[in-house]
């Protein structure tokens, strides 16, 4: 009977025969059919199986049938009750609904292997759970086979693999040892002897497997059959394998069926013998006894122990061989090895019976050749041919003697060269020792200059500070100019001292970078503006331009300040009257670029590579005393810029003069809490002790006790008599000044007096300033007394140590006496405000506001809060809303809140921002935009100015605390 449906023929995809002779058929979209007792039945199960693309069938030991479909998953079918159980991605952990093949283990149905489009799934019938084999993921599987060794054979488009479930490993197999690319395996079948047959294209490959299930040792041999062995000359079909109980195997191909019985196949066991048929040198075939270019290459037959002799002009040869095997001779393969050159046997492809060699090195070789017949049986012994390769003339004995003579001459020349080189090294060493000695002398000079320069700082303080006071009090314009000239030259001397100290520190210990956040555009602009008076005096035009109005970055203010100051000083020094000095600042995504250009005398091309060398002076400046310097300024600028990981370059100004270009990386501050105490000064000097001469100081007993007056008492501790007298004179108008020559004397004096503030030098004999500060802050009665350290020591480490010890401020010499007075008064005011309230944070006094003012402020707050998201909210709009002019609003808000209208609007936004940072889940940028800021960096800047920390830090602290209490 025909399998038809209303005259149409369904596409049969797979078949399964049960022990009772019943045949089951799978088809495309026609469900499942069976043939029983000569009748065809269409099995209607009332499930999706009826319309599924049936692709794979497998029999279970309990008589049930496993059915795999393309797109509908896996089914378990009971032929008796016609009940169907479905497994798919929606009702089980099966990871694909496209089933390509099904295989089960041999005993007890412990496992069922399902090949899917996403890999191989393993089903446990007892637990009804699916699992995967990750080692087989990614393979496009054509067929599965479970053999009697409990190994799973996997045929895929990328070759044949074996999965060992006991050791969870994958064993790749090759159908041929010389195959470089994976095979496309179409189907698998096992015969009655346990051998596995695989179809690959139009070839059939037999795998003879040896497997030890205890040790896991695995090996195999293959035998390949093709159309020459009787198979149809066409490709096989996918999974088109069948085996009868008698052992016969059927394979379906494009042209029909191929049938064979593995037990009836007989092998050719005749062992082949190899014979040399031809020998060719170059393109010429060599005969026995033939003379070639004056030499007889082959004196006797190669099959009877003959030797092939070759010379340098005929070093390429080929050997052709044959066997006495006449059964499928086209399948005979040869293996050859040239002893002395090859380490392993070389296998020729079927049909190739020749070996070729070229450019052999001189020596004696032995060519071994053996054959393998069509069934894999090889020769008992290999055929041998001895080959002698004679050396060329340059490798002969006479040539080697000549080489030995030349080598002796070379050795002699080498020894002579070594002696000359050692003599030269000795002379160079003497010169280096002389240079080292000279450098030691230079270092001693530097040390002397450094000590002298360091000693100059305190006298310079006593010169600059009184001069500033005299300038402030001078009324005579002529006298004012003289005093200003004296002050400027003293400051210039101080700059030279600082530069020399920085140079010395770089020589001894190296400079270190002290990064801090700052607004770099305003910083550079301020440095340029400090040259405004010099610009007017010398009639030189000074300009500053920037591509961005504002930019926050991390940089070392001290070192960048010194660098720009040095470049501008040089520019003014070398620019004549009527010239121009220009400073330009621009940015890139990763760096800040600062250009300082002038229209001066310029620098020659020969001098440009050396301008950053120490003590270098350009030739065009040596003859002009007004343009000479010490030669270390640009060297220090180069060092400062290198510390920033930046570069400095020099080029010609197209209009005449020179351009110095500084490029430093653009570094943004990370939102971390500051751990380094603030430092009031940015000048950095080496950590060199100041050796002050001891002078007589008034004893403690001779000082008068503080008189009853409104002046607070200031205790000055310094071992310099001149400094004490200067501070006594400068502070005497506002303070009652008491003095002590060292820390020990100051401590004894503090037992009887309670000063409002203490000013102390850092380095003193006995108890120094740090120890004095530490003892004061550890004394409960004196802990609230402010302490200011006055010292010539500019080192950042000393500043941090002093402030960490407990000092309230750290001021370096020289200093401004007015600034010192302001700081002293501020510290005293803060200490008085905090007396008796150590456990309560100080709060500002409440603002007295009239009811009308309260209404005005309340109305202003309400309007700002309502329009807080608008970036364009202006003071004019607020004043118009409140019904008053901008000037009137300014006066009212300033009088009632202490804030200008702009500050008032900003304060409302910042306080609302603090509230959102504590209570909302928005990030800083989102909150900034919610508050009307177009750029979050301005919000961060103003927030830090108002609350002392960055918004991210505030949110991290306050937000966590709020969430904790909730």
CATH number of the domain within which 60 lies: 2.130.10.10
pLDDT digits (tens, 9 = 90+) for 215-260: 888 888 888 888 878 888 888 888 888 888 888 898 988 888 888 8
Q: What mean pLDDT is predicted for residues 786-802?
A: 77
pLDDT digits (tens, 9 = 90+) for 117-163: 888 999 888 888 898 888 888 788 889 998 888 899 999 988 899 99
pLDDT on residue 716: 92
Res 39 pLDDT > 60: yes
In a domain, 494, yes or no: no
Res 617 pLDDT > 80: no
Count of CB atoms within 10 A of residue 244's CB?
Answer: 10
Q: What mean pLDDT is predicted for residues 620-648?
A: 71
In a domain, 706, yes or no: no
pLDDT on residue 407: 94
Residue 755's φ and ψ, nearest 5 degrees, are -70, 160
Considering the domain architecture, whether residues 338 and 410 belong to the same structural domain is answered as no
The C-alpha atoms of residue 481 and residue 373 are separated, in whole angstroms, by: 117
pLDDT on residue 153: 92
The C-alpha atoms of residue 417 and residue 746 are separated, in whole angstroms, by: 74
Q: What mean pLDDT is predicted for residues 78-104?
A: 88
The C-alpha atoms of residue 155 and residue 134 are separated, in whole angstroms, by: 16
Res 613 pLDDT > 50: yes
Residue 462 tokens, joined: 């006593």
In a domain, 66, yes or no: yes
In a domain, 113, yes or no: yes
Q: What mean pLDDT is predicted for residues 446-453?
A: 67
Res 198 pLDDT > 90: yes
Sign of CA dihedral 751, 755, 756, 759: negative
CATH code of the domain in which 571 resides: 3.30.565.10
Of the chain, the percentage scoring pLDDT greater than 90 comes to 12
Of 382, 364, 357, 360, whose CA–CA distance to 372 is shortest? 382
pLDDT on residue 546: 92
Contact (Cβ atoms closer than 8 angstroms) between residue 743 and residue 764: yes
| Helix or strand run (H / E) with residue 913 | helix 901-919
Count of CB atoms within 10 A of residue 304's CB?
Answer: 7
Considering the domain architecture, whether residues 319 and 369 belong to the same structural domain is answered as yes
CA distances 888 to 438, 496, 884, 899, 902, Å, are 75, 52, 6, 13, 14
| Helix or strand run (H / E) with residue 874 | none
The C-alpha atoms of residue 13 and residue 27 are separated, in whole angstroms, by: 5
Residue with the larger pLDDT of the pair 618 and 515: 515
In a domain, 431, yes or no: yes
Q: What mean pLDDT is predicted for residues 918-947?
A: 84
Rg (CA), the chain: 50
Residue with the larger pLDDT of the pair 680 and 484: 484
Q: Which of 132, 156, 182 is the last residue of a domain?
A: 132
CATH code of the domain in which 719 resides: 3.40.50.2300
In a domain, 7, yes or no: yes
Largest CA distance in the chain: 138
At 924, the pLDDT band (50, 70, 90 cuts) reads: confident
Of 341, 325, 339, whose CA–CA distance to 368 is shortest? 339
The C-alpha atoms of residue 414 and residue 752 are separated, in whole angstroms, by: 87
- Which residue bears the tokens 């620019």? 575
Considering the domain architecture, whether residues 429 and 537 belong to the same structural domain is answered as no
Q: Which of 376, 395, 414 is the last residue of a domain?
A: 395
Res 437 pLDDT > 90: no
pLDDT digits (tens, 9 = 90+) for 690-741: 222 223 333 444 455 454 456 889 999 988 887 888 888 888 888 989 999 8
Q: What mean pLDDT is predicted for residues 11-15?
A: 80
Considering the domain architecture, whether residues 402 and 355 belong to the same structural domain is answered as no
- Which residue bears the tokens 């030279």? 496
Considering the domain architecture, whether residues 918 and 885 belong to the same structural domain is answered as yes
Considering the domain architecture, whether residues 890 and 807 belong to the same structural domain is answered as no
CA distances 89 to 93, 97, 126, Å, are 6, 6, 19
Say whether 6 sits in a helix, a strand or coil: coil
Sign of CA dihedral 889, 891, 895, 900: positive
CATH code of the domain in which 311 resides: 2.60.40.10
Considering the domain architecture, whether residues 83 and 175 belong to the same structural domain is answered as no
Contact (Cβ atoms closer than 8 angstroms) between residue 361 and residue 388: no
Residue with the larger pLDDT of the pair 81 and 516: 81
**Residue 469 belongs to what domain range?**
397-478
Considering the domain architecture, whether residues 660 and 520 belong to the same structural domain is answered as yes
pLDDT on residue 412: 94
Q: Tell me how many domains the chain contains.
A: 7
Considering the domain architecture, whether residues 733 and 819 belong to the same structural domain is answered as yes
In a domain, 889, yes or no: yes
Residue with the larger pLDDT of the pair 487 and 276: 276
The C-alpha atoms of residue 137 and residue 122 are separated, in whole angstroms, by: 13
Residue 30 tokens, joined: 């026609």
Considering the domain architecture, whether residues 545 and 608 belong to the same structural domain is answered as yes
In a domain, 688, yes or no: no
For residue 509, give the DSSP letter.
Answer: T
Contact (Cβ atoms closer than 8 angstroms) between residue 594 and residue 668: no
pLDDT digits (tens, 9 = 90+) for 814-859: 777 878 888 888 888 877 765 544 333 334 444 444 566 778 888 8
Residue with the larger pLDDT of the pair 49 and 797: 49
pLDDT on residue 415: 94
Considering the domain architecture, whether residues 791 and 806 belong to the same structural domain is answered as yes
Q: Which of 458, 478, 498 is the last residue of a domain?
A: 478
- Which residue bears the tokens 């000549």? 402
Q: What mean pLDDT is predicted for residues 802-807?
A: 80
At 671, the pLDDT band (50, 70, 90 cuts) reads: very low
At 594, the pLDDT band (50, 70, 90 cuts) reads: very high
Q: What mean pLDDT is predicted for residues 171-189?
A: 83
User: Mean pLDDT, the chain, as a whole number?
Assistant: 80
CATH code of the domain in which 926 resides: 1.10.10.60
pLDDT on residue 501: 66
pLDDT on residue 668: 66
What's this model's pTM, rounded to 2 decimal places? 0.41
Q: What mean pLDDT is predicted for residues 755-778?
A: 88
The DSSP secondary structure of 16-63, one letter per residue, reads EE-TTS-EEEEESSS-EEEEETTEEEEE--SSGGGGS-EEEEEE-TTS
At 511, the pLDDT band (50, 70, 90 cuts) reads: low
pLDDT digits (tens, 9 = 90+) for 871-914: 888 888 888 888 888 878 888 888 788 788 888 898 888 888 88
Count of CB atoms within 10 A of residue 67's CB?
Answer: 28
Considering the domain architecture, whether residues 164 and 188 belong to the same structural domain is answered as yes
């Amino acid at each position: 009977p025909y399998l038809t449906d209303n005259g149409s023929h369904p596409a049969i995809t797979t078949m399964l025969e049960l022990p009772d002779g019943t045949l089951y058929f799978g088809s495309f979209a026609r469900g499942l059919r069976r043939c029983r007792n000569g009748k065809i039945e269409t099995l209607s199960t009332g499930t999706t199986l009826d319309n599924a693309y049936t692709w794979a069938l497998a029999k279970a030991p309990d008589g049930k049938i496993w059915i795999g479909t393309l797109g509908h998953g896996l089914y378990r079918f009971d032929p008796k009750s016609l009940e169907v159980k479905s497994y798919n991605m929606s009702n089980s952990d099966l990871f694909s609904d496209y089933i390509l093949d099904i295989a089960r283990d041999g005993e007890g149905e412990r496992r069922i292997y399902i090949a899917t489009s996403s890999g191989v799934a393993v089903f446990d019938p007892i637990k009804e759970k699916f699992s995967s084999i990750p080692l087989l993921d990614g393979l496009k599987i054509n067929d599965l086979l479970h053999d009697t060794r409990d190994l799973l054979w996997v045929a895929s488009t990328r070759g044949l693999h074996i999965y060992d479930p006991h050791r969870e490993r994958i064993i790749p197999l090759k159908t041929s040892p010389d195959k470089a690319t994976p095979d496309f395996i179409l189907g698998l079948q096992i015969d009655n002897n346990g051998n596995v047959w695989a179809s690959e294209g139009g070839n059939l490959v037999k795998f003879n497997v040896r497997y030890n299930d205890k040790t896991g040792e695995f090996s195999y041999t293959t035998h390949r059959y093709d159309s020459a062995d009787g198979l149809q000359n066409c490709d096989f079909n996918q999974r088109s394998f069948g085996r009868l109980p008698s052992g016969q195997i059927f394979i379906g191909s494009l042209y029909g069926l191929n049938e064979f019985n593995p037990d009836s196949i007989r092998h050719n066991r005749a062992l082949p013998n190899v014979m040399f048929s031809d020998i060719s040198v170059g393109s010429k075939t060599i005969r026995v006894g033939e003379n070639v270019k004056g030499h007889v290459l082959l004196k006797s037959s190669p099959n009877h122990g003959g030797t092939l002799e070759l010379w340098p002009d005929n070093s390429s040869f080929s050997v052709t061989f044959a066997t006495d095997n006449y059964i499928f001779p086209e399948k005979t393969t040869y293996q050859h090895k040239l002893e002395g050159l090859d380490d392993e046997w070389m296998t020729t492809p079927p049909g190739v019976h020749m070996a070729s060699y070229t450019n052999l090195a001189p020596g004696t070789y032995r060519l071994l050749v053996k054959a393998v017949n069509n069934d894999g049986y090889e020769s008992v012994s290999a055929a041998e041919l001895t080959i002698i390769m004679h050396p060329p003339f340059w490798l002969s004995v006479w040539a080697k003697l000549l080489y030995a003579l030349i080598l002796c001459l070379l050795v002699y020349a080498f020894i002579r060269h070594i002696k000359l080189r050692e003599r030269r090294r000795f002379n160079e060493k003497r010169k280096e020792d002389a240079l080292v000695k000279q450098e030691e002398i230079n270092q001693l000079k530097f040390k002397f200059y450094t000590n002298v320069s360091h000693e100059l700082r305190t006298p310079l303080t006593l010169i600059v500070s009184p001069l500033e006071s005299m300038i402030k009090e001078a009324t005579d314009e002529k006298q004012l100019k003289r005093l200003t000239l004296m002050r400027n030259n003293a400051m210039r001397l101080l700059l030279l001292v600082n530069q020399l100290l920085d140079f010395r520190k770089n020589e001894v210990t190296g400079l270190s970078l002290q990064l801090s956040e700052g607004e770099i555009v305003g910083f550079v602009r301020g440095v340029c503006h400090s040259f405004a008076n010099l610009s007017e005096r010398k009639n030189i035009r000074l300009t500053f331009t920037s591509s961005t109005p504002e930019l926050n970055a991390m940089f070392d203010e001290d070192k960048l300040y010194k660098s720009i100051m040095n470049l501008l000083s040089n520019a003014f020094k070398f620019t004549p009257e009527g010239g121009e000095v220009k400073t330009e600042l621009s940015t890139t995504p990763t760096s800040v670029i600062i250009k300082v250009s002038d229209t001066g005398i310029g620098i020659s091309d020969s001098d440009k590579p050396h301008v950053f060398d120490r003590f270098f002076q350009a030739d065009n400046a040596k003859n002009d005393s007004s343009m000479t310097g010490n030669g270390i300024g640009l060297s220090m600028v180069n060092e400062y810029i290198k510390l920033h990981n930046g570069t400095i370059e020099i080029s010609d100004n197209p209009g005449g003069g020179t351009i110095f270009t500084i490029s430093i990386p653009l570094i943004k501050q990370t939102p971390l809490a500051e751990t380094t105490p603030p430092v009031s000064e940015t000048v950095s000097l080496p950590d060199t002790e100041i050796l002050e001469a001891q002078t007589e100081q008034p004893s403690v007993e001779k000082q008068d006790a503080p008189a009853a007056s409104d002046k607070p008492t200031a205790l000055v501790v310094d071992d310099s008599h001149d400094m004490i007298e200067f501070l006594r004179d400068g502070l005497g108008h506002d303070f009652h000044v008491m003095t002590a020559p060292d820390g020990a004397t100051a401590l004894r004096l503090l037992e009887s007096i309670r000063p409002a503030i203490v000013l102390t030098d850092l380095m003193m004999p006995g108890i120094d300033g740090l120890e004095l500060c530490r003892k004061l802050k550890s004394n409960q009665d004196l802990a609230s007394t402010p302490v200011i350290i006055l010292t010539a020591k500019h080192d950042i480490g000393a500043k941090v140590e002093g402030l960490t010890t407990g000092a309230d401020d750290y001021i370096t010499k020289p200093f401004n006496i007015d600034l010192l007075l302001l700081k002293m008064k501020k510290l005293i005011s803060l200490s008085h405000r905090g007396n008796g309230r150590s456990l309560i944070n100080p709060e500002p006094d409440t603002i007295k506001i009239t009811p009308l003012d309260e209404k005005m402020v309340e109305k202003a707050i309400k309007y700002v809060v309502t329009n807080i998201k608008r970036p364009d909210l202006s003071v004019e709009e607020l004043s118009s809303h409140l019904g008053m002019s901008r000037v009137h609003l300014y006066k009212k808000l300033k009088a009632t809140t202490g804030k200008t209208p702009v500050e008032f609007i900003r304060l409302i936004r910042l306080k609302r921002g603090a509230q959102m940072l504590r209570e909302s889940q928005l990030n800083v940028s989102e909150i900034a935009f919610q508050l009307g800021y177009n750029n979050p960096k301005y919000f961060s800047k103003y927030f830090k100015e108002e609350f002392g920390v960055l918004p991210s830090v505030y949110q991290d602290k306050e937000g966590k605390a709020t969430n904790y209490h909730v």
